[in-house]
Amino acid sequence: MSVIKANEIQDLNGNVILNTNNRIKFLQVVSGESTTLISYNSSSTASPNIRNYYNLDNSVSLTTVGENSSFFITGYAQCAVVLVNTTPFARCNIGFSVTNGSTTTRISGVDGTFGDSWGPNSAPQGSTLNRSTLWTPNTQLNSGVTLTFNLLGAQYDVGNIRWNNAPYGHNNTITVMEFAA
């Protein structure tokens, strides 16, 4: 059993959305799981999937219950490298995006060499990655808005990367909690 205690929660812009003087009200929780093997074979750093986030085929949708809600998002994924002559190791990371209508917004995960934290070099058995973030939309959301939250993955190094590598029986998960203060 885990217990999380906090006296303050801030959004990505540093705005306090919960402190010990407020009570938090969880409105709903949705979760998704995928066992789909996602494989990217890259042969150079010019490959479009090197250091760029892509969808890991795991999304969850919810229709907002509250007005001006915030969302706590957690994800888990396993990244493995298939040994090639030049790259016995690889660094990976996970991130999140949200789609509202036809607009997709990156919540966490920064493309490129700088600006993100890349996981440790992983041996062929892979790395297990966990990430969580708090997202408060820049614009106010009414109740009844359908949002789709996406689990993203990226690799830093050149190599043959596999997510949910079949021999290891892993899956990836995303959980989204809507809450109002």
pLDDT of amino acid 142 = 92
Would you say residue 100 lies in a domain? Answer: yes
Domain that residue 116 falls in: 33-180
pLDDT of amino acid 123 = 56
Would you say residue 141 lies in a domain? Answer: yes
Global pTM? Answer: 0.81
| CATH assignment of the domain containing 106 | 2.60.120
pLDDT of 39 above 60: yes
Task: Please write the tens of the pLDDT for every residue from 114-134.
Answer: 767 676 565 555 678 899 999
Strands 54-63 and 146-155: antiparallel
SS3 166: helix
For 51-79, b/e burial (b = at least 16 CB within 10 A) is bebbebbbbbebebebeebbbbbbbbbbb
Longest dimension (CA), the chain: 58
Would you say residue 17 lies in a domain? Answer: no
Would you say residue 18 lies in a domain? Answer: no
Task: Please write the tens of the pLDDT for every residue from 66-106.
Answer: 888 999 999 999 888 765 555 556 678 899 999 999 999 99
Would you say residue 11 lies in a domain? Answer: no
pLDDT of amino acid 87 = 55
Structural domain count of the chain: 1
Please, which pLDDT band fits residue 1 given cuts at 50, 70 and 90? Answer: very low
